[in-house]
């Protein structure tokens, strides 16, 4: 019987050589040549507990301020030894996409079961620091600038010990420095896991539904490397504890005050807005971003932010469980969002995928951002197959066609789109200095993959911000909005936000990347700094990395 089924299916498998058009999104796996070979640990496959399926984040950041991007892999542990895993890894970029493993010399020594990471130059010393979330006590890795890290945890004020998932830096109280939001998931003891449950006729591990949620934590930056927990004080405990998996801090309405978007698993998402008294109130459901178009809370995993309709307002895309579409909430202004997933062609294509990392990014440098989603199931392969679902899944790459997104046909394009993996986190940045965006992606209990972008199609520009005014601590301008050619009235205006917390629990560099298509001329960029000050930078040449400095205070 099986043989018959198999032969029928194989005989009708996707035709891989049927398309004649050239690859438009070529990527080459250069993991080995780059020196990034490693296998991530997250329990075992097949997973027997919820704890094993939620990890896999990555950080791509410049820890030593040498201009290129280094790699941190937080890594997980196993159920047998949940507090002593194989350890996080740190790879320093030597240039030209060659990395050296500096885990030992970097004094990383981080062997907890780690999940997410949030990156920012928190103390304004010019070196990017990393907050790593864990099952257990979280860790703050302060970069010393020479490839080494100083461990700060309870000493800096981060005393709580929960199952933390995502984290994000951002200025929440408007004082100019970077505060921290930590999304927590469930109360979970691997020694006493929840009973298995039934899903679509199969036995699967229990959770998160039915488990007590862990409330999120918010920390105020007190300066001098000290933080204090202000979750209740600032109003974040006025909402029911929820299954947080993603968080981003961004000014959603351009009024100079940051909001907090929290993606919750199987529950309504939060949109926290600050009132004049400095307390935050959840407007997730009233704004429309908390639920899908039919009023359902979804299993939000990853978050991507982009401007899909050229109105300079951030639109929010989130990835979800299988049989539930990925969701694009378009920002209507005035604090309202509308689920336009179906209208923009993103819903039905995603029904057979379980999405994690995601990003808006211009892979082919044509001036229009694609939307990329990495996928993979959580249940055991035999379980997913008993439901007719794939355990390992192809990524979904959607390109813009007029006002909609259209999936790039994997049978007609690059091989990396045809490969199925059980992916989780991904980070995006120009790792080889050629101006296009390369991709680092992590498979659950699988290898790290570095995909070099070989598009070389259009012109480009990368913009990095520096606020080096005396006393400024948000040196990288985290929270800023950048608009390309704001006066030009271009066909689709390009807007970027330098914010953390995107993709899935990971960190991509806080640099704005613009594809310019055939336009090799100079461009202007308008920067809206986190404190609301606007600054226009004119005559920026194409095909260069520009470091733009904040004008001195007057």
Partner 1 sequence: MLLAACAPATDGSIQRLDAALPRFQSEDPPAKSVDERAAAIRLLLGQARWKSAQAELERWWQSEAAGEAAFLLGWMHHKQGHFALALPWLERALAAGPTYPKARQVFFLFGRCLQESGHLKEARRAYEADGLLYPEGGDSPFRLALLDFEEGQLVSCEARLITALERFDTPREKAKVLAHLADLHLARDELGPARARLEECVKLYPHYEAFYKLSKVCARLGDEAAAQAALEQHRYWRERTQPSRGQ
Binding of residue 19 to partner 1 (CB under 8 A): no
Q: How far is the CB of 271 from partner 1 (least distance, A)?
A: 15
12 binds partner 1 (CB under 8 A): yes
Comparing CB distances to partner 1, the nearer of 327 and 350 is 350
- Per CB under 8 A, 6 contacts partner 1: yes
Q: What is the spatial distance between Cα 489 and Cα 40, in angstroms, rounded to a whole number?
A: 46
CB atoms closer than 10 angstroms to residue 135: 25
Instruction: Please give the residues from 286 up to 325 whose contact with partner 1 meets the rule CB under 8 A.
Output: 286, 288, 291, 293-296, 299, 321, 323-324
Binds partner 1 (CB under 8 A): choice among 37, 173, 311, 385: 385
Site for partner 1, residues 386 to 425, rule: CB under 8 A: 386-391, 402-404
Which residues touch 272 (CB under 8 Å, ≥6 apart)? 235, 236, 259, 260, 262, 280, 281, 282, 283
Q: How far is the CB of 196 from partner 1 (least distance, A)?
A: 15
Q: In the complex, what is the shortest distance from the CB of residue 168 to partner 1, in angstroms, rounded to a whole number?
A: 25
Instruction: Considering the complex, state which of residue 191 and residue 201 has its C-beta at the smaller distance from partner 1.
Output: 201
Q: Report the distance separating Cα 304 and Cα 316, nearest Å.
A: 6
- Which region among 24-32, 198-206, 243-251, 304-312 touches partner 1 (by CB under 8 A)? 198-206
Answer yes or no whether residue 192 interacts with partner 1 by CB under 8 A.
no
Site membership for partner 1, residue 345 (CB under 8 A): yes
List strands edge to edge, sheet with 355-361: 355-361, 370-375, 396-401, 404-407
Contact between 266 and partner 1 by CB under 8 A: the answer reads yes
Least distance from partner 1 to the Cβ atom of residue 116, Å: 22
Residue 316 Cβ, how far from partner 1 at the closest point, in Å?
A: 16
Nearer to partner 1, 94 or 368 (CB): 368
Q: Which is nearer to partner 1, 160 or 354 (CB)?
A: 354
Cα 130 to chain centroid distance, Å, stands at: 14
| Cis peptide, bond prior to residue 534, ω within 30 of zero | no
Q: Give the separation between CA 362 and CA 406, rounded to whole angstroms.
A: 14
Contact track, partner 1, 26-65, x by CB under 8 A: ----------------------------------------
Query: Nearest 5°: CA angle at 82, between 439 and 135?
Result: 65
Does residue 353 belong to the site contacting partner 1 (CB under 8 A)? yes
Residue-level length of the chain: 554
Q: How far apart are CA 126 and CA 446, in angstroms?
A: 34
* DSSP for 155-218, written as a single string: GGT---EEEEEEEEEE-SSSSSS-EEEEEE-B---TTSPPPPEEETTEEE---STTSPBPPPEE
Q: Which residues bind partner 1 (CB under 8 A)?
A: 1-3, 5-10, 12-15, 199-201, 209, 266, 286, 288, 291, 293-296, 299, 321, 323-324, 332, 336, 338, 342-343, 345, 347-353, 381-382, 385-391, 402-404
């Amino acid at each position: 019987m099986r043989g018959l089924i198999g032969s029928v299916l194989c005989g009708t498998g996707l035709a891989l050589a049927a398309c004649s058009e050239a690859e438009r999104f070529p990527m080459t796996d250069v993991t080995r040549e780059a020196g990034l070979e490693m296998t991530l640990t997250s329990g075992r496959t097949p997973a027997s507990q919820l704890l094993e399926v939620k990890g896999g984040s990555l950080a791509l950041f410049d820890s030593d301020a040498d201009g290129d991007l280094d790699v941190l892999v937080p890594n997980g542990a196993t159920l047998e030894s949940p507090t002593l895993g194989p350890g996080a890894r740190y790879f320093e970029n030597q240039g030209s996409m060659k990395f050296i493993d500096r885990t030992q010399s970097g004094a990383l020594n981080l062997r907890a079961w780690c999940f997410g990471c949030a990156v920012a130059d928190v103390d304004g010393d010019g070196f990017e620091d990393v907050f790593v979330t864990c099952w257990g006590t979280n860790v703050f890795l302060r970069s010393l600038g020479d490839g080494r890290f100083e461990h700060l945890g309870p000493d800096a004020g981060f005393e709580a010990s929960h199952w933390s998932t995502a984290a994000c830096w951002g200025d929440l109280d408007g004082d100019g420095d970077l505060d921290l939001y930590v999304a927590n998931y469930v109360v979970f003891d691997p020694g006493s896991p929840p009973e298995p449950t039934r899903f679509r006729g199969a036995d699967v591990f229990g959770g998160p539904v039915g488990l007590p949620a862990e409330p999120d934590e918010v920390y105020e930056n007190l300066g001098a490397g000290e933080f204090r927990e202000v979750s209740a004080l600032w109003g974040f405990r006025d909402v029911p504890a929820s299954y947080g998996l993603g968080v981003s801090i961004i000014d959603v309405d351009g009024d100079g005050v940051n909001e907090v978007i929290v993606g919750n698993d199987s529950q309504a998402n939060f949109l926290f807005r600050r009132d004049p008294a400095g307390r935050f109130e959840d407007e997730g459901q009233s704004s429309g971003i908390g639920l899908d178009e039919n009023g359902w809370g979804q299993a939000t995993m990853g978050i991507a932010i982009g401007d899909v309709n050229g109105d300079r307002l951030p639109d929010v895309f989130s990835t979800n469980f299988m049989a539930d579409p990925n969701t694009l909430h378009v920002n209507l202004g005035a604090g309202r969002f509308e689920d336009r997933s179906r209208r923009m062609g993103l819903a039905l294509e995603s029904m057979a995928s379980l999405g994690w990392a995601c990003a808006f990014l211009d892979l082919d440098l044509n001036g229009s951002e694609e939307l990329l989603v990495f996928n993979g199931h959580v249940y055991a392969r035999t379980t997913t197959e008993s439901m007719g679902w794939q355990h390992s899944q192809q990524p979904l790459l959607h390109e813009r066609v007029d006002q909609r997104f259209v999936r790039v046909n994997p049978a007609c394009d690059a091989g990396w789109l045809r490969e199925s993996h059980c992916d989780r986190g991904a980070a995006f940045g120009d790792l080889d200095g050629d101006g296009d965006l390369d991709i680092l992606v992590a498979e659950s209990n699988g290898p790290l993959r570095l995909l070099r972008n070989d598009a070389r199609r259009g012109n480009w520009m990368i913009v990095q911000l520096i606020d080096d005014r005396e006393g400024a601590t948000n040196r990288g301008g985290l929270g800023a909005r950048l608009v390309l050619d704001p006066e030009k009235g271009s066909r689709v205006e390009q807007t970027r936000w330098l914010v953390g917390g995107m993709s899935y629990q990971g960190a991509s560099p806080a640099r704005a990347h613009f594809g310019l298509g055939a336009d090799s001329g100079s461009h202007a960029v308008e920067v809206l700094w986190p404190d609301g000050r606007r600054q226009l930078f004119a005559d920026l040449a194409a095909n260069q990395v520009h470091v733009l400095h904040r004008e001195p205070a007057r």
